[in-house]
Every structure is written in C-alpha cells, then in structure tokens.
Structure 1
C-alpha cells in the first residue's frame, strides 16, 4: 500500500487569546492525501481553511495530533526547515507579494534561494511561466504591475512552481478575479496536475470551483471535517444532511429543494450538465404521465365502436328534448 504524501491524524489547533486559551480553529481533523491527487478543501469564512493550509507546510504546528508530510513529522524542526522547498504554498492574492523589478526576477527568487545555478534558474523560470500559460519572451522583462490581475496571479504561482514542489497548496487562488480570469487559473492548475503529476491541494469558499477538478473534497464547518470523499460522495452527503446548502451551487440547490418537496431527484448529479439532464428527465417523466392520463381519459369517454358512448350522445335529440319540456 502506498504511503500518503500528507496525513492529518486527529489534528487540533487554536489561536490563543492569552486568557481562556482561545477556541479551536481546527478540531480533530483526520484525512490523507495520495501522490498526484487533486484535493479540494471548501468551507465558509472562519471554517479553518487557511489555518489548515499553514499546517501543511510547517508554518504552524498542531497543538495536538500529528501532521506528516512526505514522510516527515512537521513537529520536527529539521523537517520544517526543508519543507518550504517541498510544499509550495500560494497565499490568497499572492500578486500583492510580487516585489522584484521584473517578472523574470520575481519568478527566479525562490530558485536562487535554493542555490540553483544561473542556467538552472533560467530554464526553471521559463518552464514555470509556460506552465501557467505565460510566454517568457513576452512577459519576462515586464514589471509585474504592467500585467493584468490574472497574469500577476499566474506569475505568483509560477514563482512557487519554479522550485518544483512535490505538493502545491493554493489558498483561494481565484479570489478577486473575474470570470475569465478564474477559469484560466483553474484550467492551468488542473493541467499542471495531470501533466506533471504534482499533488495539488486547492482551498476555496466555493465547492462549485472544485467539483469538476478534485479527486477528493473536504468540507470544513467551524473547524471540523464535516464531509470527506469523492465529489459524488460529498454531494450525496451534502444533499442528504440537514446542514445549510449555501456551499452547493445553484443547480444542486434546486435538486435538494425538489427532494425536500418529495420529488425523487438529486441522485448522482454533480455538474450543471448532469443536474440539467436529471431535471429534464423529471419534466419528461411528468409530461409522459400527463400524456398517459389524457389518453386514458379519451379512451374512457370518447365514442368508439368498442368503447362507451360519448356523454353528449346520451342526451335526447333536440326535438325529443323540446317535446319533453312541453
């Protein structure tokens, strides 16, 4: 059996307020990540997502429990001192941390700190920029502020990728970007995972962003791991539990509401296309039932040689009716 590249074992962490000791930011968190997996971690603000990210590369250590990364215990100082080269952490809005005069210099910063040769720095920077969809010859000599918001975000990610981390942790990588910018980042991150086999852990407030990307999803609620599993397992649990549905995308909220109304819906749909197909089948099923009912009604009451006479035919002829009235 393969050894996980990352494992959380009953991890608890709190930010002390100096008096009561503070409330638990994370409480009894347990899960494991296999090499090459894409993991999505979702939850509302204050659910513990960013704290979890900092525990992954040793910036924070648990108060109890154990975090193991690439075979090392993060409570060991010697492990933590080397972990920054193995676990690349991209913070929220990382473009605000760009500080060098050119894009090339900024992406090269980490590589130089690792002691890479000039040739290794040059090839590493070019490969990292291309990995995030930027052409080195076009952007390398530009100042980071000359780039668009999405390009600056990708430059910041390239600075981490240049160090070739075994695990890439992205904390809200699409925050503040417009629709096209978000889609571009998500597409590049997924391609990175599939092309290079890099283990990717992406933190997001929106489950919609990770549904089609992640191999497994963790849902955090108030510092606890509420749900963990594949996308379909997580959606099935979310649809069936009494928790708030705010994390669910709109199309799954529709299916959940249908289930609450007693309609059999929301079985295995995850994507919008699957949900629309399921809803369409429900509509078609209802339409077929109406057609059957209408057909039955017509057979019952319409005049035919083999069926009962039409109700109108049972009335007396107009002359008979007039005579009866007289």
Structure 2
C-alpha cells in the first residue's frame, strides 16, 4: 500500500510518497490523511494510483443511508441486491474510479462497536459489500476492508472480509503524521472544528457592505494592475510582521470584488501555492474575519482554492461552503465545490487556473 504524505480528504498531491505496509498503519494514518479523525457512520476510501500514475485521493463519505437505519442488516453478500440500499455514494465513487483509472482501493468503515459487536459488525460488513459491489462493476477492486469504532492507540480493528483482527497503533506515530508535523499541518479534533474555523468573525468586524449589491468595476486595466500590486504590497508587509490598517484592508477587499482583480490573484495562487508563512494566507484570513459578506466570500474562495490545489479537500470544502454562505452569488466558489463533488483532481484544476 502507498499513501501520499500530503493527501487530504478528497484531495491529491504528488509529494512525498509514504509506503504503508500493514492494516494497522493504514488505519492509524487516516486521521492525518483527512486532517481529522472521522466519526462513526463514515466510510473512508483510500484510493490507489490513478491511470496517470498520481496518488489517488482519500475520500470520507457519510453512510447513514447505506447502513439502513433501524432496518435488519442485509444478508447474502455474494448475492448482494443492488437496489436494496441507497447506492448514491458508492456509485459516485465507482464513477470516479472508472474515470480516473483507479484499479484498487482500501475501505475503512467507522461504526461504533463494529470490531467487537455482532450486529454492528454485520452492518459494517454490508456497507463494505455495497461499495465492493459497485466498485467491482467499474473495474475497481477492494483490496482490503476494515472496521473500527474509533481511531485510538490500542482500539480494536477487524477485517470485514476475513477472520483477521488486531489493535491499532498510535495515530501520532505514523510516517504520514510525521510528514505533516514537519510541514506544520495541525490535525483537528473533528470535521466540525475545521468547519467552524472558516465561520469565525472578529468581534469588531464590519458586517454592512458599503458597496451595495451591484458589481464592482475598476476603471480599466491600469486600475486593475494597481489593485493587484496593492494586494501584493499588503502581502509583503504582513510577511515581515507589519500590520494592515482597516482602511487599507477595506480597499483591498473592495478591489477583490472586481472580477479581473480576483481572477489575477487566483491565477497567481494557482501558479504558486501557499507556504506556511505566506502573507497571502494572513491577508485573506484578515479579510474573511473582518470584512462584510461579499469581500469575505472572495477571501474564503481564495483560501478554499489554496486548500484544493494542495490536496486538502476537507479544508477546501469548508472554506468554499462558507464562501457560498457569505455570498450565494459567488459563482467561482460554486464551480470549485462542484469540482470537489465530481472528484476533479487538484493538479488538473491548478493547471487550468494557472493558464
């Protein structure tokens, strides 16, 4: 098994590659791969290499429909009836794997007591069987399927398609966790923590849009160039520890409402992704936390795009959903969300945006 050191939920990046040699290490690596430990009712799919040779994504899906609520568990896995379950998530994943040429995946079903409880274990087996069925139709093999109740050192895991079971190793001890720690990436306690991060506002934030609801258009290419340079000046100032006052922040936020300015900043982001101490990240967070809805939406769009380009699908989705919530007319944020839902590879998106 191989796992990509920079994989995030629903995301891909090609550096660096980490070799995973056991179910214990695969399971323990999932919180770092996703950026948070997935809760009960999840299926995590670790995709193998694509036809183009890239590391496949790590995808987390809710499986309430597949579990069937309070209905009796399914039986007869070898004669699995495809229409007895909500097949949407599994079919969507199968389409992605077929399109990208993913020939093998590993599944981890997260369901309370599934590693040591009979009924919960049968439910987890049937969830894995549903994915195996639809993936098999698309030519993708389920290499391994495991059930866990939580992600913690010493907690049990079980092979859902066999007789093997064991205990988990420490999620903080994996090679992928070490790679992420070296890069300064912090693992959240839950997906909700990540979503909340993009909803935070400063106590004295400006919530009244002074520009009305209409489009903002600067006066020609020279004005656009000046606005982009003002954005870059603010970035450089933040990188050397200087602060941006509210008036300058308001001017930068207003300029980003011009589509030409936004698109140029977006293009440059695609050409050169964010690093840990990048002033662009600091500037966009300031806009997102302090400026009114439409300006906040553009800043969240840029933060979401940066996460998408880097393979951080969970952060990308949280930021882009917050961007749409702040401004439903943000069509680029909606477009990127659609790309996430369709499994558009980050590198493809980045190449298109950088052109």
TM-score between both structures, scaled by the size of structure 2: 0.27
Q: Which has the higher strand share?
A: 1
Structure of larger gyration radius: 1
TM-score between both structures, scaled by the size of structure 1: 0.29
